[in-house]
């Protein structure tokens, strides 16, 4: 009886240890339906893929679970608890997955093929939408199922907290912009639905490409938008066209640095000096803060982890040194950012006017509409508009 209990305990410890370890594939391989490389296979693994072991090794094979929750078998010789530079990678020439460092992504990946792709938290079309992805976005994939209608994990790991899923048919090799352009031009002008879908793909891919592609993409898309006659979509597209025009003439970094070098906030008549104030001047102008809080500053970005919060601004404050570093300003009739005598961001500035005047200085993304950045030497201004009006300007420091 004692021997029986010992064997049960040994088996339990073995399973427990196995479940606590992480296992990786040190070579390209496939997920097979049985313990033979001649068997049918379910999908492709790329070097570095993580798997979960579902059994002990048997005749040189493990039963495993892939990160999209598919189960099958892989050769034991390719399973390891770690990866290192000495691994002899066996490449599968039929494996569609792209290795990292191709100029788009650092790890194994493919690209989004469709516009406005909803990445789900679970392999279920009714599960929570975790992220909206755009045509040309690279996505991390370590296991790719063979079936076009199967789910693929595009987060690169097993974590329930971060896992993202989509169908295989929506990812593949990076779309070619010129090919999409020609395909759009071949469509029947009266087929508005197809032209809208093709136009959205063009625009999204252009945002993921060289700035020079934005103008021809929006030229086509704008044709469709006018056909749809949707006032909001028309206004948004015209704004994006203005952004594209500015990005096509983007200033060099040294020109932007020279332009922003003497920037100062004016807060209820109080001018900052190189974006700093004294605590005495701040409290004289704004009084005591509505709230004080301590923030975590692992990168050492701010002068202090103590933050003051006002209706007009947020700031890092060193009370002992009588020093205030302005971090975020809420723009109103009393607050503004001044670049120089003829250039300021204040409450009278509309989003359209901002784009027309400063479009060649800014960074912008289709993923963050109405939010813009202007780079500084070690940080950047993050500028946000709400309902067409300037809302906040925040200084974001690089860690």
Report pLDDT for 240.
96
Q: How far apart are the C-alpha atoms of 303 and 315, rounded to whole Å?
A: 10
DSSP label at residue 310: -
- State how beta strands 171-172 and 109-112 pair: antiparallel
What per-residue confidence (pLDDT) applies to 89?
82
pLDDT in tens, the chain (399 residues): 444 444 444 444 444 344 568 999 999 999 999 999 999 999 999 999 999 999 999 999 999 999 999 999 999 999 999 998 888 888 999 999 999 999 999 999 999 999 999 999 999 999 999 999 999 999 999 999 999 999 999 998 888 899 999 999 999 999 999 999 999 999 999 999 999 999 999 999 999 999 999 999 999 999 999 999 999 999 999 999 999 999 999 999 999 999 999 999 999 999 999 899 999 999 999 999 999 999 999 999 999 999 999 999 999 999 999 999 999 999 999 999 999 988 999 999 999 999 999 999 999 999 999 999 999 988 999 999 999 999 999 999 998
Annotate 194-211 with b (16+ C-beta within 10 A) or e (fewer).
ebbbbbbbbbbbbbbbeb
Helix locations, the chain, DSSP H: 2-20, 177-186, 192-207, 214-228, 231-248, 253-260, 279-286, 351-358
CA distance 177 to 174: 9
Contacts (Cβ under 8 Å, ≥6 apart) of 72: 31, 32, 33, 41, 42, 63, 64, 66
What pLDDT is attached to residue 86? 82
- φ/ψ of 71, rounded to 5, equals -120, 145
Please give the pLDDT value at position 2: 45
User: What is the full DSSP assignment across 127-152?
Assistant: SPEEEEE-TT-EEE-SEEESSTTSEE
pLDDT at 13: 43
Q: According to the model, what pLDDT value does residue 4 have?
A: 45
Q: What is the pLDDT of residue 20?
A: 61
Check if the beta carbon of residue 221 is closer than 8 Å to that of residue 192: no
Q: Which of these, 146, 117, 190, 114, lies nearest to 45 by C-alpha position?
A: 146
Q: What Rg value do the Cα atoms of the chain yield, rounded?
A: 27
Task: For residue 326, give Cα distances in angstroms to 200, 238, 343.
Answer: 39, 34, 20
- Beta strand 276-278 with 270-271 is unpaired
Amino acid 366: pLDDT: 93
């Amino acid at each position: 009886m004692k021997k029986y209990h010992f064997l049960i305990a040994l088996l339990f410890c073995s399973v427990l240890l196995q479940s606590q370890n992480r296992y990786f594939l040190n070579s390209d391989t496939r997920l097979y339906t049985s313990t033979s490389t001649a068997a049918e296979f379910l999908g492709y693994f790329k070097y570095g893929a993580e798997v979960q072991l579902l059994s002990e090794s048997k005749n040189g094979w493990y039963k495993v679970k892939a990160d999209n929750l598919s189960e099958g078998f892989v050769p034991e010789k390719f399973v390891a608890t770690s990866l290192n530079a000495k691994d002899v990678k066996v490449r599968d020439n039929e494996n569609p997955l792209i290795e990292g460092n191709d100029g788009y992504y650092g790890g194994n990946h493919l690209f989004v093929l469709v516009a406005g792709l909803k990445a789900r938290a679970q392999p279920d079309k009714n599960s929570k939408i975790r992220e909206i992805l755009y045509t040309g976005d690279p996505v991390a994939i370590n296991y790719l199922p063979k079936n076009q209608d199967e789910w693929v994990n595009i987060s690169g790991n097993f974590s329930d907290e971060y896992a993202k899923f989509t169908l295989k048919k929506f990812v593949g090799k990076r779309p070619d912009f010129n090919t999409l352009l020609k395909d759009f031009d071949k469509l029947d002008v009266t087929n508005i639905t197809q032209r809208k879908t093709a136009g959205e793909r063009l625009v999204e891919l252009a945002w993921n490409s060289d700035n020079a592609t934005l103008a021809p993409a929006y030229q086509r898309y704008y044709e469709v938008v006018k056909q749809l006659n949707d006032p909001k979509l028309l206004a948004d597209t015209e704004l994006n066209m203005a952004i594209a025009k500015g990005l096509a003439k983007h200033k060099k970094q040294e020109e932007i640095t020279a332009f922003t070098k003497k920037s100062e906030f004016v807060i209820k008549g109080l001018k900052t000096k190189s974006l700093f104030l004294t605590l005495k001047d701040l409290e004289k102008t704004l009084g005591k803060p509505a709230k004080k809080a301590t923030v975590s500053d692992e990168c050492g970005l701010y002068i202090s982890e103590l933050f003051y919060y006002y209706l007009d601004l947020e700031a890092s404050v060193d009370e002992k040194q009588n020093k205030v570093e302005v971090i975020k300003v809420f723009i109103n009739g009393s607050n503004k950012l001044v670049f120089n005598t003829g250039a300021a961001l204040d409450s009278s500035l509309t989003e359209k006017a901002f784009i027309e005047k400063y479009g060649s200085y800014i960074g912008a993304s289709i993923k963050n509409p109405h939010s813009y950045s202007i780079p500084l030497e070690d940080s950047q201004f993050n500028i946000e508009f709400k309902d067409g009006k300037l809302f906040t300007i925040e200084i974001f420091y690089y860690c």
